[in-house]
């Protein structure tokens, strides 16, 4: 591994980045679409990397309400109980001290906690979830707040993402951004600083009070 990037903190998306939920998320929204008599093909383009409320609003203003949001949440909490880790994600995160990593997800806190715990992860000291931000991805607020919670500048953090919306969010916040090829094609992730097949392509080395991400 000849390439390296120095950093102080790590910020992870959850769905399709740490937790293998691509099909689970599709199934959640397909079930919701069926309940509402909507073709899933209309919903699918707005699903990945966005807050539930934002997906609902993009599908149609008549669905952008608390009742529909709660219906999706209830479907999601049940579905996430069977979530599993992305290959290599758990061992990768376990090598990072607890105070040096956090979460920035578009998902509701209860859904994110359910999927992380079901996949074997210990929850970090703090998490930025849908309820914590005014603007979800692709707005930079989730990653900016996550870095602030770690006590670091965004430029000192590495962000891990799988979706175009998430990568745009992390990049505009100022993070060095790594795209994991789990849910999208490489051509859709070109904004990322680094694109890898998986966590096995990466190594973290501690260097006094900072880290080096090597690939």
As given in the structure block, the two tokens for residue 71 are: 């219906």
Question: Quick check: 155 and 125 in contact, CB under 8 A?
Answer: no
Dist CA 124 CA 105 (whole Å): 13
Name the pLDDT band for 106 (thresholds 50, 70, 90): very high
- As a residue count, the chain comes to 215
Chain segment 22-42, per-residue pLDDT in tens:
888 899 999 999 999 999 999
Dist CA 31 CA 44 (whole Å): 12
Count of H-run helices and E-run strands, the chain? 8, 9
Q: What percent of the chain has pLDDT over 70?
A: 100
Residue 15: beta bridge partners? Answer: 19
Average pLDDT, the chain: 95
Dist CA 32 CA 25 (whole Å): 11
Q: Is the pLDDT of residue 49 over 90?
A: no
Summarize the confidence of residues 174-188 as an average pLDDT: 96
Summarize the confidence of residues 167-180 as an average pLDDT: 98
Q: Which residue has the tokens 């008549």?
A: 62
Give the pLDDT confidence score for residue 99 in this predicted structure: 95
């Amino acid at each position: 591994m000849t390439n390296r990037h120095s950093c102080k903190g790590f910020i992870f998306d959850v769905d399709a980045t740490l937790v293998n939920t691509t099909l689970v998320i599709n199934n959640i929204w397909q079930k919701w679409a069926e309940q509402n008599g909507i073709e899933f093909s209309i919903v699918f383009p707005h699903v990945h990397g966005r807050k539930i409320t934002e997906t609902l609003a993009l599908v149609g203003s008549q669905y952008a309400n608390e009742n529909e949001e709660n219906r999706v949440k209830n479907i999601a909490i049940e579905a996430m109980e069977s979530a599993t880790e992305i290959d290599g994600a758990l061992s990768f995160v376990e090598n990072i001290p607890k105070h040096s990593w956090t979460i920035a997800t578009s998902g509701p806190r209860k859904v994110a906690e359910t999927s992380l715990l079901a996949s074997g992860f210990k929850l970090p000291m703090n998490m930025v979830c849908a309820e914590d931000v005014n603007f979800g991805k692709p707005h930079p607020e989730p990653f900016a707040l996550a870095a602030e919670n770690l006590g670091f500048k965004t430029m000192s953090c590495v962000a891990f993402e799988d979706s175009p919306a998430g990568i745009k969010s992390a990049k505009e916040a100022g993070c060095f951004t790594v795209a994991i090829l789990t849910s999208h094609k490489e051509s859709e992730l070109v904004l990322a600083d680094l694109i890898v097949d998986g966590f096995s392509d990466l190594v973290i080395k501690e260097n006094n009070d900072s880290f080096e991400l090597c690939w």
